[in-house]
């Protein structure tokens, strides 16, 4: 798994009994502590080594180091969970169709980092979360499953996002579990699309 934050989705994966071989992060974060506490190998590929958050950030160098580290451990499926660094296309070449992501909207609407705020300001009556196969294009790629979350009249960005996170923590482990089962049977991750009801 690739993490950058609190590790609550990782905790959900562990509770679901999923095998997590490695948790890698792009910065020091609670997610690494969660992994350590669960006896999962951790890896920090710090952005600081590649220019941090400056405009000169060496994205390709960062991506290459992360890719080499994962491949050297025979990782065959990558699940991003709040991972805060956009990797380059070479990562997706190394893991074609095998990088999963969860996003707090009903894709293809409200892509990007401010999806929850966009849903609130748009006036729609519902949003949700999407688990999809990540591609080089941000928040794009085949959709594997979605769950809807109604927007309440008194919702703030924080309250709505928290309700979406509750759904994500249930849906994402279910999808990952199905993808892992499919891969054991020699099928591609995309084959699980549509196998989960909303």
Which one of 92, 103, 132, 161 is the catalytic residue? 103
pLDDT of res. 29? 97
Q: How far apart are CA 88 and CA 49, in angstroms?
A: 17
Q: Which tens digit of pLDDT belongs to each residue from 57-74? A: 999 999 999 999 999 999
Angle between the 8-15 and 30-37 helix axes, to the nearest 10 degrees? 20
Q: How far apart are CA 5 and CA 7, in angstroms?
A: 6
User: What fold characterizes domain 1-96?
Assistant: Rossmann fold (3.40.50)
pLDDT of res. 128? 97
CATH superfamily of the 101-187 domain: Formyl transferase, N-terminal domain (3.40.50.170)
**Domain limits of the chain?**
1-96, 101-187
Residue 195, pLDDT above cutoff 60: yes
Task: Give the three-state DSSP class for 178.
Answer: helix
Asked if 103 is an active-site residue, the reply is: yes
In 3D space, the residue among 22, 63, 26 whose CA is nearest the CA of residue 44 turns out to be 26
| Same-fold call for 1-96 versus 101-187 | yes
Query: Between β-strands 2-3 and 78-81, what pairing exists: parallel, antiparallel or unpaired?
Result: parallel
Q: Which tens digit of pLDDT belongs to each residue from 95-133? A: 999 999 999 999 999 999 899 999 999 999 999 999 999
Q: How far apart are CA 105 and CA 51, in angstroms?
A: 31
Q: How high is the mean pLDDT of the chain?
A: 96
Residue 198, pLDDT above cutoff 70: no
Confidence (pTM): 0.94
Euclidean distance between the first and the last CA atom of the chain, given in angstroms as a whole number: 24
């Amino acid at each position: 798994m690739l993490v950058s934050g609190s590790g609550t989705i990782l905790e959900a994966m562990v509770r679901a009994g999923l095998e997590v071989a490695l948790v890698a992060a792009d910065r020091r974060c609670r997610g690494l502590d969660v992994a350590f506490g669960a006896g999962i190998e951790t890896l920090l590929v710090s952005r600081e080594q590649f220019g941090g958050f400056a405009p000169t950030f060496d994205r390709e160098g960062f991506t290459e180091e992360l890719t080499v580290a994962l491949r050297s451990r025979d990782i065959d499926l990558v699940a991003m969970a709040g991972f805060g660094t956009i990797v380059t296309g070479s990562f997706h070449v190394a893991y074609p169709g095998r990088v999963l992501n969860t996003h707090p909207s009903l894709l293809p609407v409200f892509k990007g980092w401010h999806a929850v705020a966009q849903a609130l300001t748009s006036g729609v009556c519902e949003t949700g979360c999407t688990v999809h196969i990540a591609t080089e294009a941000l928040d794009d790629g085949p959709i594997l499953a979605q769950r809807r979350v109604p927007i309440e009249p008194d919702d703030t960005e924080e309250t709505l996002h928290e309700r979406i996170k509750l759904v994500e923590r249930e849906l994402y482990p279910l999808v990952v579990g199905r993808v892992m089962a499919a891969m054991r049977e020699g099928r591609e991750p995309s084959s699980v699309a549509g196998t989960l009801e909303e």
